[in-house]
Amino acid sequence: MTDTFEAKGKRKKLVEELRKKGISDEEVLRAMDTVPRHQFMDPAFLNHAYLDKAFPLSSGQTISQPFTVAFQTSLLEVKKRDKILEVGTGSGYQAAVLAEMGAKVYTIERFRELFIKAQQTLVSLGYSIDFFYGDGYEGKPQYGPFDGILITAAAPEIPEKLLQQLKIGGRMVVPVGAQGSQVMTVIERAGEELFDYSTHGNFTFVPMLKGTVNGK
């Protein structure tokens, strides 16, 4: 499915809604105005793609609510050419938003089926992103350290190995907590062993699980 006049119009409205809900990072808003979210969902759901709602993907996972994508991306404070690691590729939408902002994106997914589908979508849209099928708890130390690490699944606790893959001055955005409700947490690496924490409200994500799933 291609981008259409209709989809563009719906996207503009969504961006205005995000602005009203308090998103003020113009680069985030511009990226979300550009990335065709409907192409990351089943083509039958154009009417759902530009509502501010989460939506089911295959494998029992979800594409995050646009507000959540905008909020997490704003907290990450992405600058052009930043190296960003995303855990939880899902549909690939969040990765596209980061790439649209000029970041160098590395993204990991534990479901083989989603990993393949997201890769196809992002390549067909012309994004140049590094995809990995694997367990995000391990991170990608060989490509680090990263300016930012964005976790888009609920982590029962802050993943220690990932903290070690942050640059000094880099930040991790991660929803921390048990299933049902998590606290959006930002961790800034202020020094080799110095981490500053701040919290930013409650959200609900699908869980961050260990290991990989090779099949449906």
Binding stretches for ligand SAH (CB under 6 A): 61-64, 87-88, 90-91, 93-94, 108-111, 114, 135-137, 152-153, 206, 208-209
Which entry of 24, 58, 59, 64 is annotated as an active-site residue? 64
Looking at the Cβ atoms of 191 and 205, the one nearer to ligand SAH is: 205
| Closest distance of CB 136 from ligand SAH, Å | 3
Looking at the Cβ atoms of 53 and 196, the one nearer to ligand SAH is: 53
| Closest distance of CB 206 from ligand SAH, Å | 5
| Closest distance of CB 184 from ligand SAH, Å | 14
| Closest distance of CB 128 from ligand SAH, Å | 17
Q: What are phi and psi of 57, to 5 degrees?
A: -110, 180
| Closest distance of CB 21 from ligand SAH, Å | 18
For residue 197, what are its two tokens? Answer: 């924490």
Cα–Cα distance between 56 and 155 in angstroms, integer?
20
Instruction: Give catalytic status of residue 124 as yes or no.
Output: no
Looking at the Cβ atoms of 13 and 161, the one nearer to ligand SAH is: 161
Q: What is the 3-class SS of the chain, one letter each residue?
A: CCCCHHHHHHHHHHHHHHHHCCCCCHHHHHHHHHCCHHHHCCHHHHHHHCCCCCEECHHHCEECCHHHHHHHHHHHCCCCCCEEEEECCCCCHHHHHHHHCCCEEEEEECEHHHHHHHHHHHHHCCCCCEEEECCHHHCCHHHCCEEEEEECCEECCCCHHHHCCEEEEEEEEEEECCCCCEEEEEEEEEECCEEEEEEEEEECCCECCCCCECCC
Looking at the Cβ atoms of 10 and 110, the one nearer to ligand SAH is: 110
Looking at the Cβ atoms of 88 and 170, the one nearer to ligand SAH is: 88
Q: List, by residue number, the catalytic residues.
A: 64
